[in-house]
Chains A and B, each alone.
Chain A
């Protein structure tokens, strides 16, 4: 009889214990999936803000291109700027039209003259934005400077909190789930003590006795992880419209790439199998002297 068959029979005999162990793994991997998705999402959002023009200087009317070039040179000399892009009044009008093409009433009465020309500046480091803004503010042709001073800093903080809290919660749940598997398998071994004794007398090798228990641990892990992955995918799919419209607006990371989700599934299956194997191995060593 194959070990898979024996494992299946063992699972059938004690379905509630199997359910408890799988649910513990499910909770663990659901939290892991959510935190991994959050961590990956926050890193994409962070990159988005880091790669976007982080400061915009709006020029006063009648600013000459010569003035703009002089400002560009001054900024380039600081060595803190990665790219500079001049947006003329006509370009600004075009951008405005593109953004509001669905709403023609907003396009009426708007001409290039009422939109200021601007300079979009990307910095290598978010902390360089403040000195760059300081330089720009000193220029007499610059009317206003806007930059998302705290956005990147706040996002970095949020991402690190997500990673910290996520690691803590997942670590705790992994220990908890492993202990449940150890307990369930230990309990089952005690239930099957006589059977194990008989198998030993019949000449069963230690692996013949151990392997079904080890496979059982792997089964709990993998079933829990796959169900958690499915649940997290469904939750993500359900909340995608809300997240995209209310929180992320122009940052296009949803729907999440299927490749990312498949990689997540593969990683979770491997991790869960290893944890199930480890926990059942601990139980077998603790309770089974063969």
Chain B
């Protein structure tokens, strides 16, 4: 999966510029950190990729598919190729761990037997099978984030978007989550992670795209957390 941003701009209303003239290319199987201060445009970049809204100017291409030209009825099908992980996990409070993860396959209209088999496999892989009947409020931060990641990747997406996935976690749990994302990346899934976590970015030495004021200020192959 190759992702291309060509002079992409995003405005909210007439004055609020979230992204301006962003051009970049991300190859299949890459692990990319997107760093920048709050309000820099990191989340906007990820949301544009998930086609939550279209770009105001420029083009975003995923394997030559122009996201601006996808018809509304085809957006759900497109999103099934993408996994999304959030800082606040976005788990459904009234569903168990099992049901939360199963939801990703339910929306893809999998058969019930397949759902049960796949969810069991992924929960065991993520070592949360024993928590399957617990509700999100009964989980630790790390368990909740592992559940959210399990939900994001159970549909075998080509691209995983992680928006500050360690933002609400302690350092030890953050590392555990990052190890998981690293492993998912080793399976060939492209991972794009927006983060503030300096230590993680500097330790992992992966590609780092720095954004500030809606513009890409730096793009380094084995980068560090640098904003200027």
A contact set with B: CB distance below 8 Å: 1, 13, 194-195, 197-206, 208
Residue B18 lies at the interface, judged by CB distance under 8 Å to chain A = no
Whole-angstrom distance between the Cβ of B164 and the nearest chain A Cβ: 16
User: In the assembly, what is the distance between CA of A199 and CA of B103, in Å?
Assistant: 8
Residue B170 lies at the interface, judged by CB distance under 8 Å to chain A = no
Q: Provide the residues of chain A in CB contact with B76, threshold 8 Å.
A: 200, 203-206, 208
Q: Provide the residues of chain B in CB contact with A200, threshold 8 Å.
A: 76, 79
Whole-angstrom distance between the Cβ of B104 and the nearest chain A Cβ: 5
Known: A1-B102, A205-B76. A199 touches B90 (CB 8 A): no
Residue of B nearest to A198 (CB): B90
Q: Provide the residues of chain A in CB contact with B103, threshold 8 Å.
A: 198-199, 202
Q: Provide the residues of chain A in CB contact with B112, threshold 8 Å.
A: 1
Q: Provide the residues of chain A in CB contact with B77, threshold 8 Å.
A: 203, 205
Known: A1-B102, A200-B76, A203-B80. A208 touches B94 (CB 8 A): no
Whole-angstrom distance between the Cβ of B133 and the nearest chain A Cβ: 16
Q: Provide the residues of chain A in CB contact with B115, threshold 8 Å.
A: 1
Residue B139 lies at the interface, judged by CB distance under 8 Å to chain A = no
Whole-angstrom distance between the Cβ of A60 and the nearest chain B Cβ: 89
Interface 1/0s, chain B 40-51, versus A by CB < 8 A? Answer: 000000000010
Q: Provide the residues of chain A in CB contact with B84, threshold 8 Å.
A: 201-202
Check if A195 sits within 8 Å of B92, measured CB to CB: yes
User: In the assembly, what is the distance between CA of A199 and CA of B100, in Å?
Assistant: 10
A-B contact pairs, 7 of them (CB 8 A): A13-B94, A199-B103, A201-B84, A202-B79, A202-B155, A208-B76, A208-B107
Residue A203 contacts which of B52, B73, B94, B155 (CB distance < 8 angstroms)? B155
Residue B50 contacts which of A13, A199, A201 (CB distance < 8 angstroms)? A201
Residue B124 lies at the interface, judged by CB distance under 8 Å to chain A = no
Q: Provide the residues of chain B in CB contact with A195, threshold 8 Å.
A: 92
* B interface residue count range (under 10 / 10 to 19 / 20 to 34 / 35 or more): 20 to 34
B contact set with A: CB distance below 8 Å: 50, 52, 73, 76-80, 82, 84, 90, 92, 94, 102-104, 106-109, 112, 115, 151, 155
User: In the assembly, what is the distance between CA of A208 and CA of B109, in Å?
Assistant: 9
Residue of B nearest to A1 (CB): B106
User: In the assembly, what is the distance between CA of A89 and CA of B182, in Å?
Assistant: 111
Interface centre among B102, B104, B107 (most CB of A within 10 A): B107
5 other contacts beyond A199-B103, A202-B84, A208-B106, with CB at 8 A cut-off? A1-B106, A194-B90, A201-B50, A202-B103, A204-B107
Check if B92 sits within 8 Å of A202, measured CB to CB: no
Whole-angstrom distance between the Cβ of B114 and the nearest chain A Cβ: 12
User: In the assembly, what is the distance between CA of A13 and CA of B104, in Å?
Assistant: 21
Nearest 7 pairs of A and B residues by beta carbon: A203-B80, A204-B107, A203-B79, A205-B76, A203-B76, A202-B107, A1-B106
User: In the assembly, what is the distance between CA of A73 and CA of B20, in Å?
Assistant: 104
Whole-angstrom distance between the Cβ of A205 and the nearest chain B Cβ: 5
User: In the assembly, what is the distance between CA of A1 and CA of B104, in Å?
Assistant: 11
Whole-angstrom distance between the Cβ of B175 and the nearest chain A Cβ: 26
Q: Provide the residues of chain B in CB contact with A1, threshold 8 Å.
A: 102, 106, 112, 115
Check if A202 sits within 8 Å of B104, measured CB to CB: yes
Check if B108 sits within 8 Å of A203, measured CB to CB: yes
Whole-angstrom distance between the Cβ of B93 and the nearest chain A Cβ: 9
Q: Provide the residues of chain B in CB contact with A201, threshold 8 Å.
A: 50, 52, 79, 84
Whole-angstrom distance between the Cβ of A13 and the nearest chain B Cβ: 7
User: In the assembly, what is the distance between CA of A202 and CA of B151, in Å?
Assistant: 9
Q: Provide the residues of chain B in CB contact with A197, threshold 8 Å.
A: 90
Whole-angstrom distance between the Cβ of A86 and the nearest chain B Cβ: 78
Check if B92 sits within 8 Å of A203, measured CB to CB: no
